[in-house]
Amino acid sequence: MGQTSKIAQGFFKRETKGMKTDPIAFDVEAGRISFFCEMIGEMNPIHHDADAARAAGFPGIVAPPTFAMVVDTETGRAAERAGKPSILTLIGCNLARLLHGEERYDYHGLIFAGDRLTVTTEIVDFEDKKGGALELAHLRAEIHHEQRGLVTVITRSLVHRLI
């Protein structure tokens, strides 16, 4: 391939390709949704006030579309607290070189305060780009609710700047 020497500079642990994490639980708290929404400037009361959410036809405070990433990062932290590697540690992320490439959510249902969710992440593939200047990790995570089933699929690519 002629790129071997450059590829060897990568940080991602390519041998983890195909691995799938065990489900990790996350309890969705109303205060966390409200705090997250305030930080993205989302002040719609359905995200802050249970009565307003119910008046709008929802069973409770609604998580906003990108709250899935909170569920994902917090289950990573829960894994580390339990002495297991988070997905970022597992694939060998170097935080000084890490960039976000792409993020996608496919919604099968909404997330509400009070939900107990579980996350499983699959390490789909690794890829080299720009002649070895960048390396990519492709991840896919599923967020499940114990009764409502699959609520969100996260598809993500993470990038290391290698030069």
Partner 1 sequence: MSASIHAAQPGDVLPTVDYGRISRTRLALYAGASGDHNPIHIDSDFAKKAGMPDVFAHGMLSMGVLARVVSDWAGIERIVSLSSRFLAITPVNATLVCGGEVIERFEQDGVPHLRIALLAEITDTEGQTAKTLAGEAVVKAEKAA
* Site for partner 1, rule CB under 8 A: 32, 35-36, 38-42, 44, 46, 58, 62, 64-66, 69-70, 73-74, 76-77, 95-107, 110, 155
State the Cα–Cα distance between residues 83 and 76, nearest whole angstrom: 11
Task: Report whether 126 contacts 135 (CB < 8 A).
Answer: yes
Q: How far is the CB of 66 from partner 1 (least distance, A)?
A: 4
Nearer to partner 1, 2 or 41 (CB): 41
Q: How far is the CB of 1 from partner 1 (least distance, A)?
A: 26
Nearer to partner 1, 8 or 39 (CB): 39
State the Cα–Cα distance between residues 144 and 121, nearest whole angstrom: 12
Report which residue type is found at 69.
M
Nearer to partner 1, 74 or 122 (CB): 74
Q: How far is the CB of 159 from partner 1 (least distance, A)?
A: 8
CA dist 14 → 55, 72, 135, 142, 148 (Å): 49, 21, 11, 21, 34
